[in-house]
Amino acid sequence: MTTFLNALGVACSLGVGKAAVAEALFGGAMHGLRDSPDWVPGRTLPVGGIDAALPSPPPAMADRDTRNNRLLLLAAQEIEDELRVAVARYGADRVGVVIGTSTTGIEEATAHIGTRGATGTWPAAYRYTDQELGAPAAFLAEWLGTAGPAYGISTACTSGARALLSARRLLRLGLCDAVVCGGVDTLCRLATQGFAALEAIDDRRCLPFSQARRGINIGEASALFLMTRDTGPVACVGGGASADAHHMSSPLPDGSGAADAMRHALADAGIPAAAIDYVNLHGTATEHNDAMESHAMARTFGHPVPCSSTKALTGHTLGAAGALEAAFCWLVLTDPARRLPPHVWDDDTDPALPPLHFTAQGHRLADGTRHLMSNSFAFGGNNASLILANAT
């Protein structure tokens, strides 16, 4: 069964809304990374923060007020009309909500825990529910007034992609007629200092697949889709996942686990690897991930498929990344000029890696039906791959 992504709301460091994000994404020069001294003591790091004002929840939902939920609401407001039409059409109990996240409201909780450590007393504003991984989904379901399945997905950096896979499953099983799905994560000290402790953060703008790569930049984002069985502008034609469980934080070095996810997605879509016209790479700019993904691409594709990592433009948005990068594929497929996101780096090819065919500014898709793949790989060997296509 083909499912369709009928609407997209998106916000990231490139901009707020589809038009602003597309303008920056396809240009490649307008990256969203800004130096900040706020996230790791003693270091000034490029981060992909969102400067736009975020909407407050309605007064009746003040007990759910976190930056994560505000950022989710910002994306939801872009497609609010489509979402509310879906609820009215299908009924509240037939609309599901599945949201991927890895940070949820932990930044607010971190501040409150610090207060308790200093004073011995929890501040009045502390709410344990802020840091629950299902909190964004519960927030959005309450805001929309839905009564269908509502839950969170937290599989580290595949969370957003897994949310779309889960939404497809709800539709295929007949449990829902529409699912609001995607991912959201906000900048927080737990993530920035945790990745710094792993020595996985670069003090410069990151360089995916470069011989000079030194680690990630962290960003924040929200990407939200309305998925249904009704024909829309973009079809989600395939999805695959795998879990190689090689190591708590490192991927299986030969790329076989990631390649399994890609093969499952191709089989689900019923197409050969040769049908893929572009791959949005996970491309974190860490030594091990980029090496693994290069091997996975070589295992999967026997031709030089155009590809790019967009994390040099947005930073790694963690639990939102899979949804955000699927959103970038959605923007490609709905762009009248069929533009592709450029791979922005220093052109310093790593001779130890299988070669990849990176896109450059101005590269475009040919006319006709096109299939785009978006890859996400996470801690614990948790891998996910999505295939999107234009619906006509």
Classified as helix, coil or strand, 324 is helix
**If you write DSSP's letter for every residue of 238-263 in order, what string do you get?**
EEEEEE----SSS--TTSHHHHHHHH
Given 316, 329, 343, 371, the catalytic residue:
316
Q: Which residue has the tokens 């602003």?
A: 20
282 is catalytic: yes
157 is catalytic: yes
Copy the structure tokens of residue 221: 């984002």
CB atoms within 10 A of CB 268: 18
Task: Give the Cα-Cα-Cα angle 367, 369, 372 (nearest 5 degrees).
Answer: 100
- CB burial of 151-188 (b: ≥16 within 10 Å; e: otherwise) equals ebbbbbbbbbbbbbbbbbebbeeeebbbbbbbbbbbbb
Q: Which helix (H) or strand (E) holds 221?
A: strand 221-228
Edge-to-edge strand ranges of the sheet holding 34-40: 34-40, 43-48, 218-219
Copy the structure tokens of residue 291: 């090496």
Asked if 106 and 35 touch (Cβ cutoff 8 Å), the reply is no
CA dihedral 56, 60, 63, 67 (to 10 degrees): -10
11/21 Cα distance (integer angstroms):
7
Given 282, 295, 343, 371, the catalytic residue:
282
Given 12, 31, 112, 157, the catalytic residue:
157
Distances (CA, A) of 147 to 97, 179, 235, 325, 355: 9, 11, 25, 28, 48
Distances (CA, A) of 183 to 62, 112, 257: 21, 25, 23
363 is catalytic: no
Could you give the residue ranges of the DSSP H alpha helices within 126-255? 135-144, 159-172, 189-197
Enzyme catalytic residues: 157, 282, 316
